[in-house]
Amino acid sequence: MKQNLARTLTRLRTTFMSLTLGQRLVAVVGTGALLLAAFMVFQWVSTPNYAPLYSNLASADASSVIDELEAEGVPYELADGGSTIMVPRDKVYSTRITLSGQGLPANSSAGGYSILDGQDISTSDFQEQTDFKRAMEGELTKTIEAIDGVNTAVVHLAMPEKRVFSDEQDPTTASVLVDTAAGTSVDAQKVQAIVNLVASSVDGLDPANVTVADSTGKVLSTDSGAGGAGTGTQAQAVADFQARKTQQIQTMLDRVLGPGNSTVQVSADLDFDKAIQESTTYRGNRRTPPLSESTAKESYEGVARTGSTGVLGPDGQMGPGGAADGEDGTYSKESTTRDNAVETTKEHREAAPGSVRSLHVGVVLDSASAQGVDAADVQDLITATVGIDPDRGDTVEVSTMSFDRTADEAAAAELAAAAKAKADAERWRLIRNIGIGVAVLAILLLAWLRARRGRRQREDRTAYLVEQLRQDAADRAAAAAELQPTPAVAALEASEQAADDELKREIAALAERQPDEIATLLRGWLVERH
């Protein structure tokens, strides 16, 4: 075994030393690249596949879990700014069971409705209400922390005791403190979602009584009224409306004057008040038969008694229907009551916030580009495009002025310089890559030529040596044929036989050292014989 290994190493060393310098360099570089690729593949295969162990962890819980993982020797990785812990996929469930046995993570299992599990028959009413409030705060905290961008949240509820025999009841209020990842903030839509979520989860909580703040002390929510938009949302709505109108006008002017030859500014006043209107309308139709009708008749006949009789009027005088003494008296009365059908219409309207109170548009045209354009036509076109209403107080002003192109020219020069620098860098990088490629090809070509020249020289030396050996053998055979078989001749033949054996050994050693050249030479002889 050792002899075979030593023989193999000797053959490899001999083969490597027989190569040219270029071939040695290529062999070393290729072997190194192959070993590096094998190492990277092995490292990739041996790297475990990680899966989330816990997500949205608080800082205290994450620290406790990491300490326990390091104590157990379990590899881990952190993601999502440290709130998510990753472990090898095949150890997720076993690690969770181990950590749960030690009460980790602690905060994830505390709070929420699990607080109510510890109540019994001896729990007082105050303790019951307090536990219910804590449970609601815990559940809301978990729900808010599930929102993308919110790391941790703290919810406090102020739930006054209900007064049965009181006309006034203190309202329920809530405050929410959110902590976001570094460099991020909660946008207005998520703030409004938090407000609506908390208000919808607590009985009797008005969205106007929910306050949301971040860890820097900035109030994110404002008084939104009854379904209206808060200050932050109002500002965003106004900005979006103005941006849409500005883009609408600017697109039209760019098609007429070209980009950069006009500027537009829109100022809008939006009404965010929520108006409620209720009205009741009654309509009757005389041609419609009444729903019900009743007629009452009353009559009287008789002889009048002595004295004044009749109906006493307000002035003390006898009214109609009175009779004189000794005359017969009569009395009759008829009344009709009809219930007619009346149409009743009740209307309840709620005006959605966000209507336009007034709209003001200012446009400036470049005098160099707007020489053939009438400002009045542009003003009429803008009035028709954005729906200007003079009765509402809307205004449109179009002016023509010369634009300052200094900044544009400087920006264009900087862009041109940057483009030129980028093109030069690309050109030099291409030249460098081409130069490196040409150099590599030249080295490979030189190594191939030197290898070919060396192979030819070795073939020539081998052919010359074999030819010399063949010629020497032929000469010795001819000389041996001419000599008589004497003891001296026999000794000479013996010495020649020994020389032949030595020659054979040399040829065998040469074939072992240079098998490719010997095979090429033999193939050449076979071709020549055919």
Q: Which long-range contacts (CB under 8 A, 24 or more apart) does 305-312 make?
A: none
What pLDDT shows up at residue 115?
Answer: 63
Rg of the chain, C-alpha, whole Å: 54
* CB 265, CB 362: distance < 8 Å: yes
pTM check: above 0.75: no
User: CA–CA separation, 29 vs 31, rounded Å?
Assistant: 5
User: CA–CA separation, 62 vs 397, rounded Å?
Assistant: 61
The tokens for 19 are 């190569």
What pLDDT shows up at residue 368?
Answer: 85
What pLDDT shows up at residue 249?
Answer: 92
Which residue, 64, 53, 134, is CA-closest to 104?
A: 64
User: CA–CA separation, 74 vs 65, rounded Å?
Assistant: 11
Tell me the one-letter amino acid at 418: A
Which residue, 452, 244, 277, 89, is CA-closest to 460?
A: 452
The tokens for 347 are 């209307």
- Helices 515-529 and 406-482 pack at an angle, to 10 degrees, of 60
Tell me the one-letter amino acid at 83: S
User: CA–CA separation, 452 vs 20, rounded Å?
Assistant: 10
What pLDDT shows up at residue 148?
Answer: 82
What pLDDT shows up at residue 224?
Answer: 45
Name 379's Cβ contacts closer than 8 Å, sequence gap at least 6. Answer: 363, 396, 397, 398
Tell me which residues of the chain have a pLDDT lower than 70: 1-3, 19, 45-46, 56, 106-120, 165-167, 222-233, 284-286, 303-329, 458, 465-466, 469, 473, 476-477, 479-496, 499-500, 522-530
Please tell me whether the peptide bond between 105 and the residue prior to it is cis, using omega within 30 degrees of 0: yes
What pLDDT shows up at residue 480?
Answer: 61
262 C-beta neighbours (distance < 10 Å), count: 24
Which residue, 233, 164, 171, 235, is CA-closest to 199?
A: 171
The tokens for 240 are 């979006």
